[in-house]
Amino acid sequence: MRSAVGAGVRRLAVCAAFVMVLVGVPFTAPAYASVVLPPGSIAVPESGTFLYMNSEPGDYIGGGVEQLYTSADTSFTANAPQDGGYFHASVIQGSYTHWWYLDMVAPYGQPFAVGSYTGAERAGFQTWGNPGLDVGGDGRGCNTLTGSFDVTEIAYATTGELLVFDATFEQHCEGWMPALYGRIRIENAPPPPDVTAPVLTLPSDIQVESSDGAGVVVYYYVSVSDDRDQNPTLSCSPPSGSTFPVGSTTVTCQASDRSGNVAEGTFQVEVLPVLAFDMTIDKTAVIDRTGQVTVSGTVSCSRPLPVEVGGSLKQLFANRVTISGTISTHVDCAAPQTRWSAVTIGSNGNFAAGNATASATAYGCELSCHYVSQTQTVRLSAKK
């Protein structure tokens, strides 16, 4: 394949009191052109938006006729991303009286630029290193094809919209000799000025806990979109993956598009110190006349934390029978500490005044889960 990139020139178009810079190459038949349109009876325009096709006798796609479609009575839709490697167009006349599609693709990994593309195969199915081409319509298409095309002009607005595209092509369907020749030219009016800033999508404020009192590596996701620029720039400070110290840090993000519109946003990353968490069980408990025992104690926390306390109370009689009861309660711990209490009754008999053993675990979750267990000999005393 031979390829060449024409020298870039800049043309200025003034619209609505602003300057739009075009990047492209004006149409001139290059010396390296691989496609030469055969003589026809229809004059091929040199400007405007049009599709011209000259089909040799025996060509399946064009039916052996010469055709010209212009924007006067035909709808043209074209797409050739500035950073992409392809051109796609659909051409529809009337209510699908005639309809055509065209695809031209640079070899994989190469930018789409002005130049001659030879050895083309069916677009989307071309082998590595070859360009792609596919012209079909009115219900006809090629399964396999060979061909060439010359891109003679591409121009974009500074905001990335396609302004001009011009190419000639030669296509042979299914390995047949008869060819479909043609030329497509797209001319779009310069778009209005881009005065809209990109849209930043930021996470909600982030809160994490340090496991050792030091900083924490925090990852976050920020996205940006823009209605005119497919690839706006984005930067955040501190960046995702940084080590954030204990305390609150403001992350500032900025996005800009190729027109210079800027959007900024911030969110907070708060790193909390290690949670101090503990529990105690009082050495005395109250037992009433029915055998109900009120066990109590404290939970301590360095910051507010909902806590579940669960466990058991056991009392041994005559070294033979053990009376057991369940301890279960909820408490919202407020720093530095909060008292808890739970009422329990024996599941296999009644508790009595004397010593018992209370075992309990306090369990609380916030950014992470914490638990602490204690066992205490408790003196059960009758309620006065």
Q: Average pLDDT by consecutive 10-residue portion of the chain (384 residues)?
A: 30 29 36 83 96 97 97 96 92 94 95 94 96 97 97 92 96 96 97 95 96 92 93 96 97 96 98 95 95 96 96 92 96 97 95 96 94 97 80
The CATH number of whichever domain residue 247 belongs to comes to: 2.60.40.10
- Predicted confidence at residue 34, as pLDDT, reads 86
- Predicted confidence at residue 32, as pLDDT, reads 56
Instruction: Tell me phi and psi for residue 363, to 5 degrees.
Output: -135, 125
The answer to whether 363 and 369 have CB atoms below 8 angstroms apart is yes
Domain that holds residue 55: 9-187
Whole-angstrom CA distances from 135 to 26, 106, 162, 262 are 24, 15, 20, 41
Task: Say yes or no: 260 and 325 in one domain.
Answer: no
Of 197, 219, 218, 207, which Cα lies nearest the Cα of 265? 197
Task: Say yes or no: 203 and 350 in one domain.
Answer: no
Residue 16 DSSP SS3: coil
Of 294, 306, 278, which Cα lies nearest the Cα of 382? 294
Task: Say yes or no: 162 and 208 in one domain.
Answer: no
Say whether pTM exceeds 0.85. Answer: no
* Dihedral of alpha carbons 45, 47, 53, 56, sign: positive
Considering the domain boundaries, does residue 313 fall inside one? yes
> How far is residue 333's CA from residue 330's CA, in Å, rounded to a whole number?
9
**How does 160-197 read in b/e, with b if 16+ C-beta sit within 10 Å?**
bebbbbbbbbbbbbeeeeebbbbbbbbbbebbebbeeb
**272, 294, 317 - which closes a domain:** 272
Look at the chain and report how many structural domains it folds into.
3
**129, 161, 187 - which closes a domain:** 187
Considering the domain boundaries, does residue 193 fall inside one? no
| Element spanning 77, H or E | strand 74-79
- Predicted confidence at residue 229, as pLDDT, reads 87
